[in-house]
Amino acid sequence: MAAVFDGHGGAAASSTASQLMPSLFAAELATITSTSTDNKASSSDLRTVLENSWDITCDAYRGGCSNNEECVADYDPREGIVLASMTSKDLVAGTTAAAAVLSVSEEGADTLTVLNCGDSRTLLVGRVRGAPQEEEDRLRNKESVVHFSTRDHSPSDELEIERLRNGWLAKGYSQPKRSLNRFRIPVGDYSYALSRSLEGPLATSCGIVSDPDVTDVDLVEMLSER
């Protein structure tokens, strides 16, 4: 598994995720392989483990937050409990997540599973081969092209706007507001430039959820199209 956690409002959430999620992933994967008949995990197993490890990481981080929005980020032997909150209870450290795991068969790599929560974009880039002549001419001076890209969870994204609108009446989600030519989501005294990430309870209740997009990229099919 490879992952990037881009923290904001402090490093507490990104530090927690970077330490906890890989360990959870490895532990659950080891359990699956040890109980399978061939000691192997399928691509669907890897997807499930990736999703589970992220969900448990998010629950563990938010589980360390009190009703007063005081979130435990860490414990230091000299400093004691270290809180994730900053100068206001409305701002608690959060993090995006971009994680990927590669499924390898006897013939080689076959599936790349990508988890995305936030706006840390993941790109799958490769060289162009076997394209129509017109396409090759257009890309002649380019070294590579993007075969896959995750969707940024931005307040200006149409799917995110619809999700937040649907959650306004049902769950009281905040609605994106335009500020300095950018859409932002108000949370107490602050506003966020992204619509999904791992956050404390207040921002989560306002609609900035940690629900990820998870995509399986068929590398065999992708390579055959090149």
pLDDT tens readout for residues 112-135 = 999 999 999 999 887 665 555 555
pLDDT 10s digits, 35-89: 877 878 888 899 999 999 999 999 998 887 755 555 555 444 554 444 444 445 5
pLDDT band at 90 (very low <50, low <70, confident <90, very high): low
Instruction: Say if residue 105's pLDDT is above 80.
Output: no
Q: Average pLDDT for residues 5-16, to the nearest whole number?
A: 88
Judge whether 89 and 202 are in contact, CB under 8 Å.
yes
127's CB contacts (< 8 A; 6+ apart) are 143, 144, 145, 226
- Type of residue found at 39: N
Question: What does pTM read for this prediction?
Answer: 0.81
Nearest-angstrom CA–CA distance, 30 and 44: 15
Judge whether 188 and 88 are in contact, CB under 8 Å.
yes
pLDDT band at 110 (very low <50, low <70, confident <90, very high): confident
> If we measure between CA atoms, which residue out of 176, 22, 197, 36 comes closest to residue 99?
22
- Going along 24-155, which residue ranges are E strands? 72-76, 80-83, 94-95, 97-105, 108-117, 123-126, 145-149
The Cβ-side half-sphere exposure at 174, using a 13 Å CA radius, reads 26
